Amino acid sequence: MLETKLTKLLGIRIPVVQGGMQWVGLPRLAAAVSNAGGLGILTALTQPSPDALRTAIRETRTLTDKPFGVNITILPTIVPPDYAGFARAAVEEGVRIFETAGSNPGKLVQYLKEQKCVVIHKCTTIRHAKSAARHGVDVLSIDGFECAGHPGEDDIGGLVLLARAAQELDIPYIASGGVADGRGLAAVLALGAAGANMGTRFMCTVESPIHQKIKEQIVNSTELDTVHIFRTLHNTARVYKNKVAKEVVAIERRPGGAKFEDVRELVAGARGRLVYEEGDVDKGIWSAGVSVGLIHDIPTCEDLLKRIESDAEDVIDGLARMRKPQAAKL
């Protein structure tokens, strides 16, 4: 059994958090992760309104009596969602664990802490992590360059970023990006993390709500099958390398560069949602981390987390055996 600051704080058995993924973090998946010993996460902005989130929370409670959380990601947009309404609805429904991400989380974090909630905040840099810690978050989720979605603009991989976190941070942190198995979990624990956040790996489980064809596409992929878009727009995102993503990259590479308006239709969220619903890999943009290269099956969440826990323990035990005791001095 692995006991870390994360497992003790959240009341979970395995130090693994399911990423709050758009269109993926739904009740069945979140409940399955929590029932298996990790922390399941509902994605607030997958729901059309705070009231719909209330319904999703209640549904999740019918599927698990274990802790689960809600993700609220603050996005740069002209017409922002009702972030305060989503947070209030979740709190009123009894949720006490939140994952926050995106820009300017100060007001949201302040409200959640006033409500005695545990807040896990995702960061891509040490300076942002320190700022979030000053806002009072309880745990930091450190996103390395390997992660799906937005890795920031500094291009620092997890190996260095997590080691820097160990040097600089005074509160617990977990690793996000590149972890899909027990060896990866053991590695980030060795780097000082209290656990791991996994998104892409949980997309490829029985309980994941995405289309079976997309799960099979992930299984058949390698670590070379993702690409960054929006590099020239300074809003880098790692997505699956399909026809649409390649077209976006080609537009960005045109002489004189590109504006968001040039790719708006290609990257529309509605198209990405159809990928998961219809199973057409090339229908739109969809997020995937380099960990696709480590995924070779579609297990239940229970089987996956049992395997991750067991494999991580085996790796840790093996490392301990590498340390030979010194001969006693005469």
Those residues whose C-beta lies under 8 Å from the C-beta of residue 177, and which sit 6 or more positions away, are 143, 144, 145, 146, 147, 148, 151, 158, 197, 289, 290, 291
Asked if 132 and 256 sit in the same domain, the reply is no
Q: Does residue 98 share a domain with residue 231?
A: no
Q: Is residue 119 a part of any domain in this protein?
A: yes
- Under a CB-based contact definition with an 8 Å cutoff, are residues 21 and 199 in contact? yes
CA 115 vs CA 110, 111, 119, 133: distances in Å: 9, 6, 11, 17
- Phi/psi at 120 (5° precision): -105, 120
The answer to the question of residue 322 being in a domain is no
Same domain, residue pair 56 and 135 = yes
Asked, for residue 327, whether it belongs to a domain, the answer is no
pLDDT along the chain (330 residues), means of 10: 96 97 97 98 97 98 98 86 97 98 88 98 96 95 95 94 97 98 98 98 98 98 98 95 98 93 94 97 97 98 98 97 77
Both 33 and 74 in a single domain?
A: yes
Q: Which residues contact 159 (CB under 8 A, 6 or more apart)?
A: 144, 191
Q: Would you state the pLDDT for residue 1?
A: 87
* Per-residue pLDDT at 329: 64
Residues 170 and 234 in one domain: no
Bridge pairing between strands 139-143 and 118-123: parallel
User: Do 33 and 202 meet the contact criterion of CB atoms below 8 Å apart?
Assistant: yes
Verify that 191 and 242 share a domain, yes or no.
no
* Same domain for 65 and 21: yes
> Are 89 and 15 contained in the same domain?
yes
Residue 285 domain-assigned (yes or no): no
Residues 97 and 237 in one domain: no
Residue 284 domain flag: no
Tokens 């002209």 sit at which residue? 78
d(CA 173, CA 307): 23
Model confidence, pTM: 0.95
Q: State the Cα–Cα distance between residues 63 and 170, nearest whole angstrom.
A: 36
Residues in the chain: 330
Distance CA 154, CA 246 (A): 22
The range of the structural domain enclosing residue 268 comes to 226-278
Same domain, 105 and 134: yes
pLDDT value for 330: 57
Query: Residue 283: inside a domain, yes or no?
Result: no
State how far Cα 231 lies from the chain centre: 21
With respect to residue 216, please indicate whether it lies within any of the assigned structural domains.
Answer: no
Q: Are residues 204 and 241 in the same domain?
A: no
Say whether both 87 and 153 belong to one domain.
yes
Q: Give me the number of domains the chain comprises.
A: 2
The domain spanning residue 141 has which CATH number?
A: 3.20.20.70
Quick one: tokens of 222? 């390698």
